[in-house]
Each structure stands twice: as C-alpha cells, then as structure tokens.
C-alpha cells in the first residue's frame, strides 16, 4: 500500500508511476469503493491510500514516478514543473544482479494534459468527491 500526502499548497497534482496502476481505497481518511486508475489527482492537504500494482514485471527495471500540476488558468501564472522520482524493485536473484549495461531503459508514465478537465471529472466521479 502506498500513502500519498499532498503537503504543498496551491495546485492539484496529477501523479503516476510508469507501467503501474493504482487501486484507490481511501481518500482523506474515508474508505471509498475501490476503483482502478492509471493516474491520480491529489489536492492540497489531501491524502490517499492506494494499492500499487505493476502491469508487468522485469527484474531490475526502473520506473519513473511523475507529478505535475493540474490548472485551468493561463500558462505562466503557476509553476508547471514536473517532479520525478524513480521506483526500482529489488532483484530476487541476488547471486547474479543485473548490471547497469544489461538494465532495461527507465519507463516513463503518461500523465493527463495540464488542463485536462475530463480526466479530473472522471477521477472525482469515481472517488468520494463525486
């Protein structure tokens, strides 16, 4: 289980992990009917508990985690930076670990467009907010 906490102010954020899906089970300490999504929307001060599931597994693979703002205001009136992190699973066979040159490329997730109100509407309709 992954607990997401949006401690920053101002913008809602889209969040995704490449080649993974989320099953949302809790929004702001309220259990919700579990629903699956490829990306999450998290607002300032909100929390979410999700199950993180890999769509397929490759030993030694790395996956980008990305977060970017959702905003419907004019470009340039907010920070539209994308934050990134890397998720890497431990290898089961530690006797023959994958070397960097044998490693698969790092996978990058697809996030909704910065002003994708349809993605936001679909997400909120599935969650406790809807």
pLDDT tens sequence across 45-101: 999 999 999 877 676 788 999 999 888 777 666 677 888 999 888 766 656 555 555
Q: Are strands 47-54 and 2-5 parallel, antiparallel or unpaired?
A: antiparallel
Helices within 2-130 (DSSP H only): 117-126
In a domain, 39, yes or no: yes
In a domain, 105, yes or no: yes
User: Which pLDDT score is estimated for 38?
Assistant: 92
Separation between Cα atoms, residue 66 and residue 63, nearest integer Å:
10
Residue 30, pLDDT > 50, answer yes
pLDDT tens sequence across 102-125: 556 677 788 888 777 888 888 777
User: Which pLDDT score is estimated for 104?
Assistant: 61
In a domain, 118, yes or no: no
| Residue 93 belongs to domain spanning | 2-109
How many domains does one find in the chain? 1
Q: Please report how many Cα atoms fall inside a 13 Å half-sphere around the Cα of residue 81, on the Cβ side.
A: 3
The answer to whether 15 and 37 are in contact (CB under 8 A) is: no
In a domain, 127, yes or no: no
CATH code of the domain in which 83 resides: 2.60.40.420
In a domain, 129, yes or no: no
Output 12 or 124, whichever has higher pLDDT: 12
């Amino acid at each position: 289980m992954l607990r997401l906490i949006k401690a920053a102010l101002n913008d809602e954020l889209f969040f995704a992990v490449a080649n993974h899906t989320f099953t949302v089970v809790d929004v702001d300490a309220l259990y919700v009917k579990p629903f699956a999504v490829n990306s999450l929307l998290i607002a300032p001060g909100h929390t979410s508990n999700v199950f993180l599931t890999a769509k397929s597994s490759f030993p030694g693979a790395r996956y980008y985690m990305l977060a970017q703002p959702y905003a419907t205001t004019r470009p340039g009136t907010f920070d539209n930076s994308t934050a990134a992190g890397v998720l890497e699973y431990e290898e089961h066979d530690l006797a023959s670990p994958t070397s960097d040159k044998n490693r698969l490329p790092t996978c990058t997730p697809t996030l909704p467009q910065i002003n994708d109100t349809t993605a936001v509407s679909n997400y909120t309709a599935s969650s406790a907010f809807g």
